[in-house]
Structure 1
């Protein structure tokens, strides 16, 4: 059986995600789709809207055959780290291709970008260094350096676009690890990744769907933009009295940790650099709600996303020392599968390049321990029971659900 791999967050899964899964299978000719999905904390330093188990159910209903969890250390990393962790897992799972959505939708443009940077690596790194010294954030510095190399507009990808950026890093990571997988890209449809509002007649962004709920406390306006299973699971989450994940509900816990531990302890937390621990501490002392706190910390050098990653690590206690023990994925954590996915795993079980973990208690590993710990922290904010990683088995979808949007 041939599998194609995709990298997802599904925060929450919407119609555009269904389209991506459909087109990935169609474009590659694969028999099934394997997804590597972030756990309960995400790449932009945010708690997930709903937990990884609910999002796995969404994925299986939408046509995904296997869902593996991207470990916390990669799921909350900046783009190169996130991409390398995901690509290594898809490679270990035996995927023959991987497919990513992009604004440009042209694989040759990404190949051109890789060649451009490879041929001018010293110049590129020098320009990045100068841009950081000038006060730009690291992502902005990368893009400025890239634009300097690409002044002639020679058909390379536009790396100012969020999906293009991730696509570039997927291809860069695949090249770095010597992956045998062939890349495929699908042009992204509908609303921009960061679009914060919903508009009728288009595929909405996950950001717009979340903001619609948080501004109204109602899911009604999201109905046209999500598949039936997503809608049902979100309604059930609400009916069960659970809180949807956002920083506002986690901020009291975060503030307690910051004020209790103080700036000196914060210096050991991953991504805390250049004295920002003092600014974070002062802001936490002054502000009792999240948005004013963030406005007090944000600057030209420190983007909202970069700060949120720091805060996620403070909340979960993820230190530089812990990160040093998790430099590469060491297992395939199974969250769910269809009948088709189970057949694939049975066929490939002897050739998988990492141990397959279906029970959390079956493996002693620092990265898995971190995932379990992060899930328990997430449970405190949302109202879920703790220790679900031990009590819940991988979800098995016993029928093939419709791949249609509704």
Structure 2
């Protein structure tokens, strides 16, 4: 069987994601679509709207055949580390191609960009350091440095978010000497950071979440932008938990963590650098909401996303030492199965013995430093649920086997 990989968050799964899946299958002629999906905390440093299990069901209903969890150690990181983890999992599973959405839509321009950047990496780094010293955030500095190189060759614009991720997927394939062939399709209908609906059927996940969390937001407002199966799962989740997850759900826990810790203890947390711990303590004391806290915390040097990631690691008490240890190899240590269709199951059976990482279907008896971070993150994610749901969810992380999906009957089973 030929397999194509996609690297996703599905927060939530929407029509743009469905288009990406359909185009991936068309472009790659794949028999099996493998999705490496972030767990309960995401790359922009925020909790997922709904759990990884609900998003797995959304993915399977939409045509994904195998859903693998991207470990917390990679899922909550900048593009380079995020890409390293995802590509290492796809390579370990023997996936033939990876297809990502980008503003460019031309894979040759990504390959050309990689070639150019490899020859001018020292010059690029010097520019970045200079722009950072001027008080710019790292992403802003990297964007300015890229333009300062004045590259004459045909390259992708690395100031655009999906191009940045795509570039790092291509770079990770090169650095890991992976056999995966990269492909890209043009992102359509909306931009990654769009906060408002720009078309009648395609919207960014950002704009969908913003609509949901607005004071008058309802699921009916986003119905045109998501598949019917996503809509029904969001309805069910809302009925079960009364609300969707965002940072406001966890703000009191974050405030307790900060105010019950010394500045020296906070300094040990991953991504807390350059005295940021003092600013965090100062701002959180009077903040009445996470949004107000972030408004006070944000500076020219630190982007909202960078600060949210730091807050995520504060919430999960993830230290610099632990993260350094688990990222030493720059690759995932295991393949955690979340769900599969019959095609996904067949692909696994054919490739299980060839897989270069252990495949985990149940946590019972599995021990690994990266996995321990995943477990802790899931427990904290679920702690805001009401009893008895909370206790069930905390237990389910160990007890839940991969979700089985029958695409003929369109039924789930465990």
TM-score, structure 1 as length reference: 0.96
Which 4+ residue blocks in structure 1 deviate beyond 3 angstroms?
none
Query: SS where residue 381 of structure 1 aligns?
Result: coil
Name which of structure 1's ranges 110-119 and 14-23 shifts more when overlaid on structure 2: 110-119
- Per-residue deviation, 1:371: 0.5
1:26 aligns with 26
- Per-residue deviation, 1:394: 0.7
1:393 aligns with 401
Contact preservation (8 Å) 2:15, 2:201: no
- Per-residue deviation, 1:362: 3.1
**Unaligned runs of at least 5 residues, structure 2:** none
- Per-residue deviation, 1:325: 2.4
* 1:335 and 2:355 aligned: no
Inter-CA distance 156–400: structure 2 relative to 1 (3 Å threshold): farther
**Unaligned runs of at least 5 residues, structure 1:** none
2:270 aligns with 270
* 1:345 and 2:344 aligned: no
* 1:228 and 2:228 aligned: yes
**Cα distance between partner residues in 1 of 2:166 and 2:375:** 29
**Cα distance between partner residues in 2 of 1:142 and 1:401:** 49
Contact preservation (8 Å) 2:201, 2:224: no
Written as runs of structure 1 = structure 2, the 5 A alignment for 1:96-111 is 96-111=96-111
- Per-residue deviation, 1:391: 2.3
Query: SS where residue 180 of structure 1 aligns?
Result: coil
**Cα distance between partner residues in 2 of 1:262 and 1:289:** 22
Aligned-pair Cα RMSD in Å: 1.3
**Cα distance between partner residues in 2 of 1:231 and 1:313:** 31
**Cα distance between partner residues in 2 of 1:140 and 1:157:** 16
Written as runs of structure 1 = structure 2, the 5 A alignment for 1:5-404 is 5-152=5-152, 154-215=153-214, 216-327=216-327, 328-383=331-386, 384=390, 385-400=393-408
**Cα distance between partner residues in 2 of 1:46 and 1:298:** 16
Query: SS where residue 7 of structure 1 aligns?
Result: strand
**Cα distance between partner residues in 1 of 2:380 and 2:86:** 23
Query: SS where residue 240 of structure 1 aligns?
Result: helix
Contact preservation (8 Å) 1:63, 1:400: no
- Per-residue deviation, 1:191: 1.1
- Per-residue deviation, 1:110: 0.8
Count of residue pairs the alignment pairs up: 401
- Per-residue deviation, 1:400: 4.5
Contact preservation (8 Å) 1:150, 1:156: no
Q: Deviations over 1:323-364 (max 9, x none)?
A: 122113110000000000000000101000100000011311
- Per-residue deviation, 1:246: 0.7
- Per-residue deviation, 1:201: 1.6
- Per-residue deviation, 1:125: 1.0
Query: SS where residue 251 of structure 1 aligns?
Result: helix
TM-score, structure 2 as length reference: 0.95
